[in-house]
């Protein structure tokens, strides 16, 4: 079945060489690229236009499908089901394992990306703010924090708004490490978890681990643990480099993508557009600051000059008197 023309998946732009910074977006992108669904990806859209208040969303004509679950349903119907090449048993296991990974890593992901105050303030807030248009970028990243609050409360049983020493992050870390160990064992030396064909399970594992592995957070205990599992690192890097060759993005030009000049060109073009907007804002703020500084300096300068001129007056006056006295 042919995908309707003009279908477009809207996601957050990536960072650290990843195609997207957001788990849900990455998961949706995996569906798209694993199944080789010919659909355009838009990385600079307004999350508030999705209908659900956040990305990802799929637009076909005027219809919008927000969230992973709906996008998956649309792709299934359009003839791009992700688990199509698996046997029945594998299909069941794929769903079950995907659910199991979700249950065990979702709280870790949300706590360390959005719930941990230091991580959020130094890194995550900035990542989301940069990808949201101007007036909304102040408040919008906090909606992720609120969501994380719910996730952590339900799945880990503590309140993110409590004092930091009451956060039971240890439990999450222990659980997450356990999961990573098991995933590493399950993957072994295979290309995909079920051998030669991709599955939803691969998509969800990649989406969590790639972000947790690549993101530069001040506090991210799982990162080193993943580094210790070489087969998982290879798994992440292979998918990032091969499948998301065109979408991988990094604001710092360290990870070069030698092939796909057109894609990198558009990416850099977008970066240019972005930097242009940034320049405008910086220029505006700079101009206001400069004017303010100038005005202040002028004010002080004026005061200084008036004071010194009166001094001169006084001396002049005395001089006159002296002259009179001499006369």
Listing DSSP states for 261-286 in one string gives HHHHHHHHHHHHHHHHHHHHHHHHHH
> What value does the CA radius of gyration of the chain take, rounded to a whole number of Å?
28
* 8 A C-beta contact, residue 160 and residue 167: yes
**What's the rounded Cα separation, in Å, for the pair 41 and 14?**
12
The length of the chain is 327
The piece of 32-40, 84-92, 218-226, 248-256 that touches other proteins (CB under 8 A) is: 84-92
CB of 110 or CB of 214, closer to other proteins: 110
At 99, list the tokens: 């659910």
Among 5, 61, 135, 170, binds other proteins (CB under 8 A): 170
- From the list 44, 161, 268, 305, which residue makes contact with other proteins (rule: CB under 8 A)? 161
* DSSP H or E stretch at residue 57: strand 57-60
Q: Which of residues 98-157 bind other proteins (CB under 8 A)?
A: 99-100, 103-104, 106, 150-151, 153-157
Under the binding rule (CB under 8 A), the answer on residue 231 touching other proteins is no
Is 44 one of the binding residues for other proteins (CB under 8 A)? no
Give the Cα separation of 73 and 51 in Å (integer): 17
Between 16 and 111, CB nearer to other proteins: 111
Nearer CB in complex with other proteins: 24/247: 24
CB of 129 to other proteins, least distance (A): 24
Tell me how far apart the alpha carbons of residues 137 and 117 are, in angstroms, rounded to a whole number. Answer: 18
Q: Does 96 bind other proteins (CB under 8 A)?
A: yes
Identified binder of other proteins from the candidate list 5, 62, 88, 261, rule CB under 8 A: 88
Please, what's the b/e burial string for 176-194 (b: 16 or more CB within 10 A of its CB; e: otherwise)? bbebbeebbeebeeeebbb
For residues 125 and 147, what is the distance between their CA atoms, to the nearest angstrom?
Answer: 14
Closest approach, Cβ 150 to other proteins, in A, equals 5
Residue 63 touches other proteins, criterion: CB under 8 A: no
Q: Which of 178, 227, 238, 241 binds other proteins (CB under 8 A)?
A: 178
- Binding footprint of other proteins on the chain (CB under 8 A): 67-69, 88-89, 92-93, 95-97, 99-100, 103-104, 106, 150-151, 153-157, 161-163, 168, 170-171, 174-175, 177-178, 181-182, 186
């Amino acid at each position: 079945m042919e995908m309707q023309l003009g279908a477009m998946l809207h996601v957050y732009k990536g960072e650290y060489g990843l195609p997207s910074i957001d788990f849900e977006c990455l998961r949706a992108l995996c569906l798209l690229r694993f199944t080789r669904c010919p659909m355009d990806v838009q990385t600079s859209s307004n999350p508030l236009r999705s209908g659900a208040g956040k990305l990802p969303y799929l637009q076909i004509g005027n219809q919008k499908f927000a969230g992973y679950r709906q996008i998956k349903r649309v792709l299934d119907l359009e003839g791009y089901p992700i688990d199509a090449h698996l046997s029945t048993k594998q299909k069941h296991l794929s769903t079950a394992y995907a659910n199991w990974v979700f249950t065990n890593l979702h709280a870790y992901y949300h706590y360390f990306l959005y719930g941990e105050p230091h991580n959020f303030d130094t890194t995550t807030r900035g990542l989301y703010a940069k990808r949201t248009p101007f007036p909304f970028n102040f408040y919008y990243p906090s909606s992720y924090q609120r969501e994380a609050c719910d996730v952590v409360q339900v799945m880990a049983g503590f309140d993110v708004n409590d004092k930091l020493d009451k956060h039971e992050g240890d439990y999450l870390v222990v659980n997450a490490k356990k999961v990573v160990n098991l995933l590493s064992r399950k993957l072994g030396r295979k290309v995909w978890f079920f051998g030669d064909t991709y599955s939803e399970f691969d998509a969800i594992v990649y989406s969590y681990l790639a972000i947790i592995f690549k993101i530069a957070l001040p506090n991210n205990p799982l990162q080193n643990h993943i580094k210790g599992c070489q087969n998982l690192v290879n798994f992440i890097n292979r998918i990032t480099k091969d499948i998301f060759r065109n979408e991988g993005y990094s604001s710092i030009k360290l990870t070069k993508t030698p092939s796909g000049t057109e894609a990198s060109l558009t990416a850099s073009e977008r970066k240019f557009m972005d930097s242009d907007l940034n320049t405008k804002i910086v220029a505006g703020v700079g101009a206001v600051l400069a004017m303010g500084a100038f005005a202040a300096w002028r004010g002080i300068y004026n005061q200084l000059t008036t004071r010194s001129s009166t001094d001169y007056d006084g001396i002049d006056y005395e001089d006159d008197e002296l002259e009179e006295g001499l006369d």
